[in-house]
Amino acid sequence: MQQRRAILVAALVAGSLLSAAAHAEKTLSALFMAQAAYSEDDVRAMTSDFEKANPGVKVKLEFVPYDALHDKIVAAHGAGSGGYDVVLFDVVWPAEFASKGFLQDVTKRIAVGDIPKVFPGAWTTVSYKDKFYGMPWILDTKFLFYNTEMLKKAGISAPPKTWGELEKQAKIIKDKGIVKYPVVWSWAQKEAMICDYTTLSVSYGGKFFTDGKPSFHLGGSLEAVQYMKASIDAGLSNPNSREYEEEDVRKVFSNGDAAFALNWGYMYNMAKDPKESKVVGKVGIVSAPGVDGKTVASAVNGSMGLGITAKSANPEEAWKFIAHMSAPATQEKYAKLSLPIWKASFSKPAVKQGQEDYVNAAAKSLEVMAARPETPVYQELSSILQKNLHSVLLGKAKPDAAMKLASDAAAKLK
């Protein structure tokens, strides 16, 4: 009898071990950005929802500043399966990451029927040579924010539709002593400055390449730099913009120290939050302006995607996580700091309510959203542009000479 009982106990223990093994947890490692768009709290809440729906999967989150994101992904590739399973990547990196084999081709994982449901600009975030290397997650561009009270005090009835109008309105506001520096930008020698430059360049009809050669020193690409420098020289743009990043811009505008600011969409609801802002009830948002006779609005593609690393040991679970994070229900639930990638979401009350102006501006901007240069050596190209643009803004070089240097240096990249 005792022998039978021992055998029964052993069998139960063995069964329990097998069951535990069958339900052993898998832990995904995911890399995100601690800057703009969805907040860390949003990402943690989205992830918590995923873990509840997938009891066998845990997700270890890591957040880094945007400036560290690219190099983290590159370095982790060398760690093999011990690196990340899921990474957030910028719209300018798929060419490099795909050509170097850092990301898995997920083209077959994406339902063909979902493709027309997502904004085209979002798909460019994860595409390279007709293949998808992830799922779009952040759909964003830079908007023109304005202080409605300051415009009213200046006798201005509507925000500017062109960069020329912005210059005129800023001068009126400055001359009336409403604010010392009416416009603030993120023109530190970083990627954010390239986003502002792209916004201006495309509005002036600029082309980064002409006949396959870099042409930053020609046409609209040069006019954009001249506009930036003139705005600083005239005292219309805050000279500290040359050291500012996006968060600095948000704080200056939210403190009531600027009438206009160019920034990503996340700033809209933060500038309306009394815990974060002194300009609650005075926040306006429109598409970035255009140029008379050339463009009616302008926008840069600042979107980002989620991809599976090439050496992930858990690709199925990683894709489940990405699918959850990019699902309409998830994105509509957390639409205050980043709008959904899905077209139908823009008409949902959960997305529009309380931020109609933001959604309307986004709908217009998405129609004209332009890309930064698409190249496998984007990081090197961006560094060249940053260096030469910044030298102009600091008054160390003339726009035409500096941008010619940029074109010549970019032409040598391989």
Quick check: is 125 in a domain?
Answer: yes
Helix (H, G, I), strand (E, B) or coil at 26: strand
Question: What are 351-364's pLDDT values in tens digits?
Answer: 999 999 999 999 99
Instruction: Give the separation between CA 195 and CA 187, rounded to whole angstroms.
Output: 9
Quick check: is 6 in a domain?
Answer: no
Beta-strand (E) ranges in 239-375? 260-264, 283-287, 299-300, 304-308, 369-370
Same domain, 156 and 285: yes
Mean pLDDT rounded to a whole number for the chain:
92
Neighbouring residues of 193: CB distance < 8 A, sequence distance ≥ 6: 185, 186, 187, 386, 389, 390
Same domain, 37 and 103: yes
Same domain, 86 and 189: no
Same domain, 245 and 183: yes
Same domain, 260 and 247: yes
Same domain, 219 and 330: no
Nearest to 351 by CA among 330, 326, 324, 323: 330
Neighbouring residues of 317: CB distance < 8 A, sequence distance ≥ 6: 26, 28, 54, 57, 85
pLDDT at position 21 is: 46
Same domain, 287 and 317: no
Question: Does residue 18 have a pLDDT over 60?
Answer: no
Same domain, 75 and 101: yes
CATH of the domain at 237: 3.40.190.10
Same domain, 147 and 127: no
pLDDT at position 77 is: 85
Question: Does residue 23 have a pLDDT over 60?
Answer: no
Quick check: is 14 in a domain?
Answer: no
pLDDT at position 8 is: 46
For the entire predicted model, the pTM comes to 0.88
Same domain, 209 and 277: yes
pLDDT at position 5 is: 52
Same domain, 45 and 60: yes
- Domain of residue 394: give its range: 143-300+375-411
Give Cα separations from 332 to 48, 54, 153, 309, 365 (angstroms).
16, 20, 37, 26, 19
Instruction: Give the separation between CA 190 and CA 388, rounded to whole angstroms.
Output: 12
Domain count of the fold of the chain: 2
Same domain, 32 and 133: yes
Question: What are 85-115's pLDDT values in tens digits?
Answer: 999 999 999 999 999 999 999 999 999 999 9
Query: What residue has token string 């600091």?
Result: 394
Instruction: Give the separation between CA 361 and CA 339, rounded to whole angstroms.
Output: 11
Question: What are 241-296's pLDDT values in tens digits?
Answer: 999 999 999 999 999 999 999 999 999 999 999 999 999 999 999 999 999 999 99
